[in-house]
Chain A
């Protein structure tokens, strides 16, 4: 292609086209903070871990937890707590390992894969946590309905019936899950749109 060869010649000639940065100007640059996508993914992921684990504290503070704990489910509560904390530790370790693997000196393809993997780990964590949360909640509700006296008595005492409490709790959870899904579509979508597009472009070549 003649035009490309012409461009190549011109390309290699360009010496004085660009502003020449001085030693000092470059030195100043290495002192600044990166604003790369990896840094953002790191910050957002840490926020997600913090947010999700602190939800537990919120539940304790607003009294919902005590309500559930009053319903004595014995080993089940202990078991689910242990499970959710092991899940947290497991995913934190995985996340850290993946994050450490991100290196700009890898090939473009490997680099992209590692970034996407790191992101995927956090997403999996969120979905595993939501599922766990839902399972615990649903089991508790089933337990309350089938085994406790409280449920039968509450209507007589003139308090809001327990099923109202339970249904509204479920609604809150659903809204909450919806918001998380929205959060993913927006933040995560915007952040990795370009990355995914370019990764697909590279993958197309392999087929």
Chain B
């Protein structure tokens, strides 16, 4: 029984691991922290998994647990105290796909997102993942109206960071 559960969990996560990687990308800025957060999210997902009923998609269920871990539960472990900065840890965007100007703009955008606070990052993440507002609101525990209002504020804030 337990083995079965383990197997279904690990293969589910293996297929959906990109979601966790993306969250790590927003919340960390060096490979060590990335792995550390990935590890912690995996543990929390596994702990919550026995209660996963399958009434929602595995990926939808993951958003909540993974974001909660990143925002609330995760504590930077000692070994990953930020020594490398964003520039040196560059998730390489395939260069040939972009001309320089767009690439430059994207890089600035990613850096701007990193400057947001944890809650704002979560909103941006769910927005980038194209989640509907009612789901964003439910995940965060706020009303849908507030989620929209906050998202607009985040957009304004991003604009300000990009064009000081």
Contact = CB atoms under 8 A, between A and B. Distances in A.
Interface in A1-54: 1, 3-4, 6-8, 10-12, 14-15, 17-18, 20-23, 26-27, 29-30, 32-38, 40
Nearest to A33: B43
A110 B141 contact: yes
Interface stretch (A68-76, A170-178, A194-202): A194-202
Contacts of B150: 205
A115 B17 contact: no
A7 B75 contact: no
Contacts of A86: none
B interface: dominant SS: helix
A62 interface: no
Given A26-B10, A201-B117, A201-B119, A206 B146 contact: yes
A70 to B, nearest CB: 49
B138 interface: yes
B118 A105 contact: no
A12 B131 CA distance: 12
A146 interface: no
Interface residues of A, number: 49
A12 B162 contact: no
16 contacts: A4-B158, A7-B113, A12-B130, A17-B91, A17-B92, A23-B14, A26-B13, A34-B40, A36-B40, A36-B44, A36-B73, A37-B73, A37-B74, A108-B68, A109-B141, A205-B150
Interface of B: 6, 9-11, 13-14, 17-18, 21-22, 25, 38-40, 42-44, 46-48, 51, 61, 64-65, 67-69, 71-75, 77, 91-93, 102, 105-106, 109-110, 113, 117-120, 122, 127-130, 138-142, 146, 149-150, 155, 158-159, 162
